Amino acid sequence: VVSTQSTGHYYITNNLSHRMKPILLQAHERSLTKILYNKDGDLLFTASKHNLPNVWWSINGERLGTYNGHNGAIWDMAVSSDTTQLITASADQSCIIWDCETGKVLHQLTAKSPVRSCGFSLTNNILCFTTDKAMNQPCFIKFFDLRDKEQVETNSPFRDIQIDDSKVNRMIWGTVEDYVITGHENGQICQYDWKTGERLRVDHSHDALIKDLQLSKDRTMLITASKDTTAKLFDAKTFQFLKSYKTDRPVNSAAISPIKHHILLGGGQEAMEVTTSHTKSGKFEARFFHLIFEEEIGRVKGHFGPINTLAFHPNGKQYSSGAEDGYVRIHDFDQSYYDFEYDF
């Protein structure tokens, strides 16, 4: 951990780096696109531009298995709250529903363009995925009721919302099950009512591609990560702007700590320019910001490429990062992290 200095004092001391040893997971041949924990936090799911998602024990980094069935890059994935089913969104124009335990393909939902993002509703009854504006096809948000087997078996969503302006790059379910939140290519974030197909709210605070959307543990706050070098905090229901976290690099992922007033940001220099720069100049560290005061309080080095995806463990005692270098790093916080108090 590299300490940062602001207003004349250090927030996190340098000797942290001698104690916080990460677990390095190496299984993906290409850059990471998504990592996530299940609700209990015992499992870590990872996906990359390779076609094989993986699942690991989060406590020791032991790999449990892979999910074999896609023929293209995996852009997004989600796990049900009871950890019985996993869904993956792929560039092979499909969304697969997996049996979490066995890795068996339960259903394969197809689209006419690459599937970009996916998610389960809070009750796990409704599945949503979004498609790219590509191959002469518009961007769609599609909804399936998993209680109706005919919808899944015949690939017939009960709701199709066509997006005519800027395509959806990220989608998550909102505070309650009434709506989904989407992040778009032009930087806007929107709410859509899945029952009516109506757009409820739109916000234009960002002016570049939205790379990531995550909610706080109580689902009241929304953090956005954008290519415009900022992450912003909103009220998840009203889209009231709360805080902004400014960096000097594109932000690819942002997460909210479930136990402390901390925001974790990851990003870095554009992937295609990485080979021309030194590790330090590429700015590939994970950066901690204070949620309320918007000031940087620490950095964690380690990756050799831009960080593409971040996730906090549900208990807040661990976080994982996945990067362009193909590695996943699991970090368990040591005692000095919990003892640290912001000096204001």
Q: Which tens digit of pLDDT belongs to each residue from 59-113?
A: 999 999 999 999 999 999 999 999 999 999 999 999 999 999 999 999 999 999 9
Closest CA to 77 of 108, 122, 37, 47: 47
16 falls in which pLDDT band (50, 70, 90)? Answer: very low
According to the model, what pLDDT value does residue 110 have?
A: 97
CB 200 within 8 A of CB 215: no
Place of tokens 């990359």: 48
Closest CA to 275 of 286, 262, 284: 284
List beta partners, residue 318: 332
Residue 41 predicted with pLDDT over 60: yes
Rounded-to-integer distance, Cα 228 and Cα 248, Å: 9
Residue 192 predicted with pLDDT over 80: yes
According to the model, what pLDDT value does residue 6 have?
A: 33
According to the model, what pLDDT value does residue 3 have?
A: 32
> 125: left (phi > 0), else alpha (psi -120 to 50), else beta?
alpha
Rounded-to-integer distance, Cα 115 and Cα 282, Å: 30
Compute and round to an integer the Cα radius of gyration of the chain.
19
3-state secondary structure of 272: helix
Using CA atoms in the order 120, 236, 33, 27, what is the torsion angle rounded to 10 degrees? -70
Question: By percentage, how much of the chain surpasses pLDDT 90?
Answer: 87
Residue 69, both tokens: 């069935």
Place of tokens 């959806």: 168
Closest CA to 129 of 108, 149, 115: 115
Sheet holding 318-323, edge to edge: 23-26, 327-332, 318-323, 307-312
Rounded-to-integer distance, Cα 260 and Cα 1, Å: 18
The residue-averaged pLDDT of 133-152 equals 97
pTM, rounded to two decimals = 0.92
